[in-house]
A = this chain, B = another copy of it.
Amino acid sequence: MEIYRHKTQYYETDQMGIVHHSNYIRWFEEARTDFLEKLGMGYDRMEAEGIISPVLSVSCQYKTMTYFGETVEIAIVLTKYNGIRLELEYTVSNADTGEVRAVGTTKHCFLDRDGRILSLKRSSPGYHRMLEEYKE
């Protein structure tokens, strides 16, 4: 499990006086970028190698509201990986109190430059092993 921290910004709030719900989807991406980078699979490195990893689906359940100025922690867990598809789980919590703000998931595949689905297991055994080892 990796932890990523994000300080909420004024431009993320809405007139309900809380952080707009669409931002959590962006925080998932921030945490995922950070996670893959630490794993040695940074987006920039993968894109340079011609591998893109689009989002197949996203879900988020909002538990409590996040306010401006709060720091949230996004804990990320690699729950599924089979050489072709990757699934991640996210838990967003207030960094001070630990109160859970939201939980969510994203699913991903890997494509080459021509948009064909890649089996990382075959095309990039190094990345494959990294992800295999991280599976919980």
Interface set of A (CB-CB < 8 Å, partner B): 9-11, 13-18, 20-22, 25-26, 29-30, 33, 42-44, 47, 52, 54-62, 65, 68-69
B16 touches A54 (CB 8 A): yes
User: For residue A53, which residue of chain B has the nearest CB?
Assistant: B16
Q: How many copies does the complex hold?
A: 4
A56 touches B65 (CB 8 A): no
A59 and B57 in contact, given A22-B29, A30-B9 (Cβ under 8 angstroms): yes
* Bound: A20/B30 CA distance, A: 13
* Bound: A10/B13 CA distance, A: 10
User: For residue A115, which residue of chain B has the nearest CB?
Assistant: B65
Q: Tell me, rounded to whole Å, the shortest Cβ–Cβ distance linking A39 to chain B.
A: 15
